[in-house]
Structure 1
């Protein structure tokens, strides 16, 4: 079984994630842009039982980050953990987005990811998440 590891910028929060993600996505929504400080957020979603996160994190509006270095790390609910894939080592991760959310806010100079589903806003509720 594949185990991916990663850490925040200062190394205080570490990750070990087992297996493949349930899904990988990119989000261009305003909240993700502000939270990441970039044009989009790139993330993978795993079942909580497959994630081992150690170290202290702080939460703001559902997003967890390292209180020491400020790195944005993950969000979670009872059934999923959404990991910011930029924290995984080594890069590149080899994880390819299967969908993009809020493409109506995508920067015009960014091209759609080949083969990824495109959603103007969120995915349909029955399939929502991420």
Structure 2
């Protein structure tokens, strides 16, 4: 499937419409993501902020990620469903958990990051790009 992508939280109070294609789709094995996912990696799609429209109220929690970036998780205050995140390292983007997006989106990871923190039982597709930590942020487009 191609854009637009839509998503909603479990209770339906927060919805999203994303009119552009993802900048990246990543599997993240950092310890913070493992905690958020209940033990495994998170799988996330990063979109340009200008392509994102959110309806509904969001709550948030911020922390400093292992990368050193300020990271803010945003979630539905009613059902607790993770909705999106923002990072100081990529201020013009928002990251959505693939599970928040509606069925049929067709997105899958093309990169796996923070493998240095992955448990020994982690399974990573050998066909995707792999990084032991956070990959470098690409330079701004001219």
TM category (shorter chain) comes to 0.7 to 0.9
Structure 2 partner of 1:41: 42
Structure 2 unaligned spans of 5+? 63-71
- SS of structure 2 residue aligned to 1:89: coil
Once residues 58 and 36 of structure 1 are traced to their aligned partners in structure 2, the CA distance between those partners, rounded to angstroms, is 18
Structure 2 partner of 1:104: 116
The runs of at least 4 consecutive aligned structure 1 residues that moved more than 4 Å come to none
Normalising by structure 1, report the TM-score. Answer: 0.87
Normalising by structure 2, report the TM-score. Answer: 0.80
Count of residue correspondences: 126
Once residues 85 and 121 of structure 2 are traced to their aligned partners in structure 1, the CA distance between those partners, rounded to angstroms, is 28
Once residues 120 and 54 of structure 2 are traced to their aligned partners in structure 1, the CA distance between those partners, rounded to angstroms, is 36
Structure 2 partner of 1:28: 29
1:119 equivalent to 2:128? Answer no
Structure 1 unaligned spans of 5+? none
Structure 1 partner of 2:60: 59
User: Greater CA deviation, 74-83 or 54-63?
Assistant: 74-83
